[in-house]
Structure 1
Amino acid sequence: MEIRLHPRHSLRTHREGMIMSKERIGFIGTGLMGHGMAANICKAGFPLTVIAHSNRAPVEDLVSKGATEAATLADLAAASTIIHICAPGSPQVEAIIAELLPALQRGTVIVDCSTSDPNSTIQLAKRLEAAGCHMADAPLGGTPVQAEAGELGTMIGAADDVFARVRPVIAAWAGAIVHLGPSGTGHKMKLLNNFLSLGYGALYSEALALSEKVGISTAQFDSVIRGSRMDCGFYQTFMGYAVEGNREAHKFTLTNALKDMRYLESMADGVSLANPIGNAVKNSYALAHAAGGDGPADYVPHLVDYVAKQNGVEK
């Protein structure tokens, strides 16, 4: 296993050499995370082609920064040598690649920045390889604010030569880059990462419901945990809703949380691993999702409300 870390202070050297690259970048999925990533690619001097989906505002902003808008995925494929995809999950990534494939130039690299099913990623890599193209999975760690600042983290699954090609582009939007191994390993690690963070969310929600039930307020609970050994960055953004009422403190949907935990369950099933904690975490999000937390503005910290309601706790 090869691991390469690239601390933030080392990125200037990468960026100074970027404009000399012959790579032309396509970007599909300029949403909460994708817009900032694409903007940083453009800022670094790479020719950038983007495509609109349902929201034109991010694309129009990127065009104002120097990007070119493609009318179709085939047009984007024809204009690009490295294509980023930021999509909700594997079904969408599979559909996008199926549409791109006939128009891809030989040697094109697809960089999947979604949180995807590793089994799907590995199969897509084989299809692309058969067409003379390449796959790299580069799921994201961080927030939309970090995306805009070019300070995301990423864990990459790709062949060594493919990683060498995409690294200067990824350095435009990532502050920490870890190369884990071949295609699929990035998405495997991302699911493990999300298991931890979403597990925290489920634990915090249940602990807060129990806290209120036994007469300890959320504010009192927070006064003990915040700043202690149990504190962490995820706790602070999560509690931005529970304590401060900021509904957008951590903008990751309950729908995506449930999807990721289902992918984790599938990964565990694939290696015959018992994962009772993972199943319990998945069920917390499944219950919230079934109870109405399935909208585009229903975020992970809102899980506290669903767990409280299930237990008769008045918030």
Structure 2
Amino acid sequence: MDKERIGFIGVGLMGHGMARNIVEKGWPLTVLAHRNRAPVEDLKSRGAAEAGSPRTLAEESDIVILCVTGSPQVEAVVSGPDGLASAGKPLLVCDCSTSDPSSTVRLAADLSAKDVTLIDAPLSRTPKDAEEGTLDVMVGGDPAAVERAWPVLEAFSQRIIRTGPVGTGHTMKLLNNFLAMGYAAIYAEALALGAKAGITPQVFDGVIRGGRMDCGFYQTFMQYVLERDRDAHKFALANGLKDMSYLAAFANAAGMANPVGAAVRNSFALAVGAGRGEDYVPMLSDIVAEMNGVAPAGT
């Protein structure tokens, strides 16, 4: 049986590896033109085609994968004047971005009247996992649509978890990122407090690593702290703030107080407000240290 034609919008840090796995595993792939030519040209060298607009990409695709910054970008490429929906054809859109669940639910309802089905399939793990095809995927949506998208999701993932109806994937992703960004804020403060007391990052790591508080996120965070490996965890502080802002809006809509989430968001807001939004999450350790008169590790 012929494989469905796949469109891909957002071939950035995560998207490039995902799209490479799709094209190398035999799907006809069309990617959207992007100002960063390197990933586009790499994918074209592997057999992908390029479209100049979302509408043109939709015309060449049966399933479209989105991996963009967040809900405003998703809404623009789907519903904008030259967006996917303007092609006027049946389409399955799979949003792998970290989006606002309320936007996802609303957009899915609007698109259904245009014969466009939206499912949400946000991701966990890192760009390295995207390249290796070992991402975790949380997928919400109509069961038949999820089943149809499943083989494509498998091309870049090691684990796919069904979360329920459309919007629940993005809700679970916000909870996942709340834990991750919360850990980052705690690690950064703990390291600065330790430094004030003369405890080095090496001693800190000697106690935590291999113990009950160790985890994969801790290891990539500390890879930057100890080795100054800027690329250990490539997720921008500005994106962390965006996700925590989505979480705050979600909690507000649910009528629930989330004081810990507010504290974590403020840690990221301080970093972004200080002009460090493009730094990666482990660099929060440097920012908290500097704000408290402590020399960052390794400097």
TM tier, smaller = over 0.9
The offset of 1:71, in angstroms, is 2.1
Q: What is the DSSP-based 3-state SS (H/G/I as helix, E as strand, rest coil) of the residue aligned with 2:163?
A: strand
Matching residue of 1:31: 12
TM-superposed CA distance for 1:22, in Å, is 4.2
Quote the Cα distance in structure 1 between the aligned partners of 2:295 and 2:11.
39
Read off the aligned partner of 2:126 and give its amino acid letter: T
**1:156 touches 1:186 (CA, 8 Å); kept in 2?**
yes
Instruction: Select which of 235, 238, 251 maps to 2:218.
Output: 235
Please state if 1:179 is matched with 2:162.
Answer: yes
In structure 2, the residue matched to 1:159 is 142
Match of 2:96 among 113, 134, 140: 113
- Which consecutive unaligned segments of at least 5 residues does structure 1 have? 1-19
- List aligned pairs for 1:241-252, cutoff 5 A: 241-252=224-235
Question: For the residues of structure 2 that align with 1:145 and 1:183, how far apart are their CA atoms?
Answer: 27
1:5-34: per-residue Cα shift (whole Å, max 9, x none)?
A: xxxxxxxxxxxxxxx244110000111111
Q: Which amino acid aligns with 1:309?
A: E
Q: Tell me the alpha carbon deviations over residues 37-73 of structure 1, each in whole angstroms, 9 at most, x when there is no partner.
A: 1111112211111112111111111111111111222
Partner of residue 78, structure 2 = 97
Q: Give the one of 44, 52, 69 matched to 1:63.
A: 44
Give the whole-Å Cα distance in 2 for the aligned partners of 1:169 and 1:249. Answer: 27
User: Counterpart of 2:275 in 1: which secondary structure?
Assistant: coil
The total of aligned residue pairs comes to 293
What is the CA-CA distance between 1:87 and the residue it aligns to? 0.5
Separation in 2, partners of 1:48, 1:309:
46
Q: What does residue 52 of structure 1 align with?
A: 33
Hey, what's the Cα distance between the residues in 2 that align with 1:67 and 1:82?
Answer: 15
Structure 2, gaps ≥5 residues long = none
Tell me which amino acid in the other structure corresponds to 2:72: P
Give the Cα–Cα distance (whole angstroms) in 2 for the partners of residues 148 and 79 of structure 1: 25
Q: Tell me the amino acid that sits aligned with residue 241 of structure 1.
A: Y
* CA distance in structure 2 between the partners assigned to 1:314 and 1:132 by the alignment: 57
Q: State the Cα RMSD in Å.
A: 1.0
2:22 to 4, 21, 41: 41
CA contact (8 A) 1:205 1:303 kept: yes
Whether contact under 8 Å (1:77, 1:104) holds in the other structure is no
1:128 and 2:108 matched: no
Q: CA deviation at 1:257?
A: 0.2
Q: How does 1:1-315 map to 2 (within 5 A)?
A: 20-98=1-79, 99-106=83-90, 108-295=91-278, 298-315=279-296
CA contact (8 A) 2:85 2:116 kept: no
> 3-state DSSP class of the match of 1:196?
helix
Counterpart Cα distance in 2 of 1:294 and 1:22: 40
In 2, the alpha carbon distance for the partners of 1:188 and 1:90 equals 13
Change (3 A) 1:104 1:30: farther
Aligned partner letter, 2:64: I
- Aligned-residue offset at 1:94: 0.6
Identity rate, percent: 57
**Could you report, residue by residue, the CA deviation over 1:231-258 in whole angstroms, capped at 9, with x for unpaired residues?**
1110000011111111111100000000
Larger RCO of the pair (alpha carbons < 8 Å, separation 6+):
1
The 2-side partners of 1:94 and 1:40 are apart by 26
TM-score, with length taken from structure 1:
0.91
Counterparts of 1:91 and 1:82 in 2: how far apart (Å)?
21
For residues 211 and 277 of structure 2, the distance between their equivalents in structure 1, rounded to whole angstroms, comes to 33
Secondary structure at the residue paired with 1:50?
strand
Q: Deviations over 1:71-130 (max 9, x none)?
A: 222210101110011111111111010122111422x11111100000000011011101
Secondary structure in 1 aligned to 2:227?
Answer: coil
Task: Calculate the TM-score normalised by the size of structure 2.
Answer: 0.96
Specify the SS of the correspondent of 1:124: helix
Q: Tell me, in whole angstroms, the C-alpha distance in 1 between the residues paired with 2:151 and 2:88.
A: 21
Write the distance in 2 (CA, Å) between the matches of 1:55 and 1:29. Answer: 10
Deviation at 1:290, TM superposition (A): 0.6
